[in-house]
Amino acid sequence: MSDIQFRSDMTVELIDSSASDLSVVRAARVSTKTESKSAWGDEKLIEFLMKNRHGTPFEHNSFTMYVEAPIFVFREWQRHRIGISYNEQSGRYTEFKPVFYIPDEDRALIQQGKPGHYEFVAGTDDQIMGTVVGLSWTSGSAFGAYAALLEMGIAKEVARMCLPVNTYSSMYVTWNARSIMNFLSLRTKREDSKFPSFPQREIEMCADQVEEIWSQGMPLTAAAFDKHGRVAP
Amino acid sequence: MSDIQFRSDMTVELIDSSASDLSVVRAARVSTKTESKSAWGDEKLIEFLMKNRHGTPFEHNSFTMYVEAPIFVFREWQRHRIGISYNEQSGRYTEFKPVFYIPDEDRALIQQGKPGHYEFVAGTDDQIMGTVVGLSWTSGSAFGAYAALLEMGIAKEVARMCLPVNTYSSMYVTWNARSIMNFLSLRTKREDSKFPSFPQREIEMCADQVEEIWSQGMPLTAAAFDKHGRVAP
Amino acid sequence: MSDIQFRSDMTVELIDSSASDLSVVRAARVSTKTESKSAWGDEKLIEFLMKNRHGTPFEHNSFTMYVEAPIFVFREWQRHRIGISYNEQSGRYTEFKPVFYIPDEDRALIQQGKPGHYEFVAGTDDQIMGTVVGLSWTSGSAFGAYAALLEMGIAKEVARMCLPVNTYSSMYVTWNARSIMNFLSLRTKREDSKFPSFPQREIEMCADQVEEIWSQGMPLTAAAFDKHGRVAP
Amino acid sequence: MSDIQFRSDMTVELIDSSASDLSVVRAARVSTKTESKSAWGDEKLIEFLMKNRHGTPFEHNSFTMYVEAPIFVFREWQRHRIGISYNEQSGRYTEFKPVFYIPDEDRALIQQGKPGHYEFVAGTDDQIMGTVVGLSWTSGSAFGAYAALLEMGIAKEVARMCLPVNTYSSMYVTWNARSIMNFLSLRTKREDSKFPSFPQREIEMCADQVEEIWSQGMPLTAAAFDKHGRVAP
């Protein structure tokens, strides 16, 4: 139990990719090959596709990422079903390590307003302290019970039932620019979004890293996404 | 805290459906209409489709079910992405009730054998007692922390981070016979399966109820599924 | 050959459904059950979900439709992959009947403008006559060749290679309100659409019938879709 | 019209990929990381996953292919909906070139037996000649009508209605090993398949090329697929 670890951050790393803005252009031009080649430059074509929501040309690419995040984040992430593949650490076949999420001190803890218009504001020192103490205490004692049950010979798939949803897990995710844009449109909160979203901060921390990785592989596409209101095509 | 509740069972209820064996036959016959009508009876046609893995005729039907099960079961269930729709209780917008899963005494707790060939056997009295005590203690104390954090004014989406994965949640699931058969082939363990699966007992408890509901709506299809090795077409 | 038939219309018929506006409300409320029941009426809740693009509650319903349309329409339709199931008449196992599509006289035949800004205008009498004659002649002679090849004993799957894409086929389609709205947003052209689409007229003729059927089953949902710019949630 | 072209072959070319057997192993091991590393070699692990139908580790890779094939082949191909992305040449925005499929002389043209047990045998010289003449004649005259309608100023999307389904089109396809294996299991006919399929020869000609490309990128996976009955995991 001495090695219990509390984290406030998320890991998103690029493992492999096959992606470029060119892949978008190439796929779009198979549809319209005789007319467009001269008329449209690559950048203008990508903007045209984004603005007019021609989605399929954005699917001919692939990013594999490795993610570490708490279970409650994975629960939200894995609700995305289309153009996305997952392999997550199994609680049936592996032992969880004692790594738990505790919000950073600048994570706004208090929710105000009515459903559909929530805003989050900072907590008082007492509220921050209460959250840190409450979560670290439940994490630690749950992990103690988990270790004890394993020690008694109980199956991993049973012992893990006591672990809280702030336990870190890990997974590989493979997806394409279209499914990434759909994820970003729902899991980031930006001023310039045509359709505002209200993601939980913790999945947005992952989404920010996803966007960083993706936009390096497909910079023109990412710029067009931003420019046209962050609507997934 | 006085009203904390421990359950060992799962709820799966039919809410709505549009399903019959006839829907399979009708869809299959649009493909082959001129030849088959006289040659094949409905039952024989369904068996032919199942055996030869013609899957699409099994998609023209729909079952909506209401489910109550612990979070670790929903985590496995929601990995199914195809032909399936979910709406689950949100930990961001609702308060979880203090309902937790504890295995029944006849749930085999001990895992033996090597990866890929695990078997489960009953625990000793001490192991059973340890599991019940461990899970009920962590459930109760986690819920205490959850209630205290809410009381302090912490946002629900933050407070719920301390809840364990044996907390009950609820959802609506809508799917069709093809996605149901895929689920059953992976989430039940039967002697007569052509491809054996090793589901965790708790999701199999749900799957057994799903099969009961589905087989009442589409009895010939369910019989053909069983007869041909429980392979999803 | 005497019974060759030319049509200018499409068939879309409701075969079966399990659908209501209530199914949307019910699924949405499982997510937020403790707070919303009093605050929001059904209609207001559906509008909120539509406007804010909460898509999943619109998936817990099902429509099975029977469609007759030319192959070039089915080619566009079947590019829709998500939440949609098809069984189409097979050219390998059935003989096509000599039914062919010829545009009605009020179908605008002439395309003007640049890519991305095409408009269609009426043809001259000569252009209309040329189209009718050209299509009816190629349809008839192709069907003559098809019949002759079948008569010679050639396999149906080979003989059908000569048939033109204006040959009518038939299929069953099963889908839900969310996939229907996605289809309608792309396959209808309306003044009040937030994202304009430029569907080919023939698939729009099908889409109009789909919308008629769907909006009778889910009138509040259809009204909210219209009101909020015909953007699929 | 002088440049009309008849082909009997299909084009499938690799454009881009991000794929290796290692990607399968890596994804599988995130699930089971603590136990397996020493016990299983890569090859043995891939065989274990294939045999036991653990499908998701086969999704973390990507192949983009360029395909030229007749429309009737694309119609079958595009019925595959899962883990697959398409961009096809548009008959609305581009002019089709006069390239048409005519079966090679060793293509068996005659279908014998009952539904579900069809076999194909060679045609007589007369039947072969009839097929070649019939298809080349209908192709040529349809293309003549198409060119004439375009010449008259009729929109491409209308003029193309007269083109037969043996007209060549082109597309980009992006998919992963799991969707490729599903395609191969249904679109190739092999002695050693656990579930026999009866694909039309023309799509099998494409599938053979797909398999060649894919098996070079993921040789251990392809060998395991073959060894375990060509059942998609």
Residue in chain B nearest C85 by alpha carbon: B59
Closest CA of chain C from B217, distance in Å: 14
Instruction: Count how many Cα atoms sit within 13 Å of the Cα of residue D40 in the half-sphere of its side chain.
Output: 21
Mean pLDDT of A199-221: 98
Distance CA D84, CA D25 (A): 22
CB nearest D152 (choices: C127, C137, C148): C127
Instruction: Indicate the helix (H) or strand (E) that contains B175.
Output: strand B168-175
Q: Could you read off the pLDDT of C12-27 as tens digits, one per residue?
A: 999 999 999 999 999 9
How many Å separate Cα D35 from the centre of its chain?
39
User: B53, B82, B111, B183: best mutation site toward chain D, by most D Cβ within 10 Å?
Assistant: B53
Query: How high is the pLDDT of residue B34?
Result: 45
B112 strand-pairing partners: B119
Distance CA B133, CA D29 (A): 33
3-state secondary structure of B129: helix
Q: Subunits touching A (CB < 8 Å, at least 3 pairs)?
A: B, C, D
| C-alpha closest to that of C170 among D77, B31, D200, B22 | B31
Query: How high is the pLDDT of residue C100?
Result: 98
* pTM of the entire predicted model: 0.96
Distance CA B165, CA A156 (A): 13
Chain D residues within 8 Å of chain B (Cβ atoms): 32, 35-36, 39, 48, 52-53, 56, 79, 82, 114-116, 195-196
Tokens of residue C171, six digits? 């299929």
Q: Could you read off the pLDDT of A76-93 as tens digits, one per residue?
A: 999 999 999 999 999 999
Given a cut of 80, whether residue C229 has pLDDT beyond it is yes
CB nearest C18 (choices: B33, B62, B86): B62
Q: Subunits touching C (CB < 8 Å, at least 3 pairs)?
A: A, B, D
Q: What is the CATH number of domain D5-102+168-227?
A: 3.30.1360.170
Q: What is the CATH number of domain A5-101+168-227?
A: 3.30.1360.170
The answer to whether the CB atoms of C52 and A116 lie below 8 A apart is yes
Chain D residues within 8 Å of chain A (Cβ atoms): 15-18, 23, 26-28, 30-35, 56-57, 59-62, 64, 66, 83, 85-90, 93-95, 170-172, 174, 176
Residues of A in contact with C28 (CB under 8 A): none
The set of catalytic residues of C is 187
Alpha helices in chain B (DSSP H): 21-31, 33-39, 42-51, 71-77, 125-151, 156-159, 177-187, 201-217, 219-227
CB nearest C154 (choices: D123, D149, D155): D123
CB nearest D72 (choices: C115, C131, C161): C161
Mean pLDDT of A118-145: 95
Which residue has tokens 């992430």? A77
Query: How high is the pLDDT of residue A2?
Result: 55
| Chain B with chain C: Cβ pairs closer than 8 A | 109
Tokens of residue C66, six digits? 């029977």
User: A151, A165, A186, A189: best mutation site toward chain B, by most B Cβ within 10 Å?
Assistant: A165
Which residue has tokens 């890596």? D26
Given a cut of 90, whether residue A118 has pLDDT beyond it is no
Question: Where in chain D are the domains?
Answer: 5-102+168-227
Residue pLDDT tens, chain B, 233 long: 458 999 999 999 999 999 999 999 999 998 776 444 555 789 999 999 999 999 999 999 999 999 999 999 999 999 999 999 999 999 999 999 999 999 999 999 999 987 767 899 999 999 999 999 999 999 999 999 999 999 999 999 999 999 999 999 999 999 999 999 999 999 999 998 999 899 999 999 999 999 999 999 999 999 999 999 999 99
Residue in chain D nearest A16 by alpha carbon: D18
The answer to whether the CB atoms of C52 and A195 lie below 8 A apart is yes
Tokens of residue D77, six digits? 């191909």
Return the amino acid letter for A2: S
Tokens of residue B22, six digits? 């006839």
Which residue has tokens 């033996």? B112
Q: N- to C-terminal Cα distance for chain B?
A: 48
The answer to whether the CB atoms of B115 and D52 lie below 8 A apart is no
Q: What is the CATH number of domain C5-227?
A: 3.30.1360.170
| C-alpha closest to that of D123 among C129, C158, B198, B111 | C158
Query: How high is the pLDDT of residue B3?
Result: 86
Q: CB under 8 Å, gap of 24 or more: what pairs does C133-138 form? A: C134/D145, C134/D148, C134/D149, C134/D162, C135/C100, C135/C101, C135/C102, C135/C103, C135/C166, C135/D145, C135/D161, C135/D162, C136/C6, C136/C100, C136/C102, C137/D145, C138/C164, C138/D141, C138/D142, C138/D145, C138/D162
DSSP D125-169: HHHHHHHHHHHHHHHHHHHHHHHHHHHTT--HHHHGGG-BTTBEE
Return the amino acid letter for D172: Y
Given a cut of 70, whether residue A36 has pLDDT beyond it is no
The answer to whether the CB atoms of D195 and B53 lie below 8 A apart is yes
Residues of C in contact with B89 (CB under 8 A): 30-31, 33
Q: N- to C-terminal Cα distance for chain D?
A: 48
Under-50 pLDDT residues of chain D: 34-36
Residue in chain B nearest C92 by alpha carbon: B32
Residue in chain B nearest C88 by alpha carbon: B31
| C-alpha closest to that of B185 among B68, B64, B50, B74 | B50
Distance CA C74, CA C88 (A): 9
Catalytic residue among A160, A178, A187, A230: A187
B20 φ, ψ (degrees, to nearest 5): -165, 160
Residue in chain B nearest D51 by alpha carbon: B195
Query: How high is the pLDDT of residue A208?
Result: 98
Q: Beta strand B168-175 with D110-112: parallel, antiparallel or unpaired? A: unpaired
Mean pLDDT of C154-182: 98
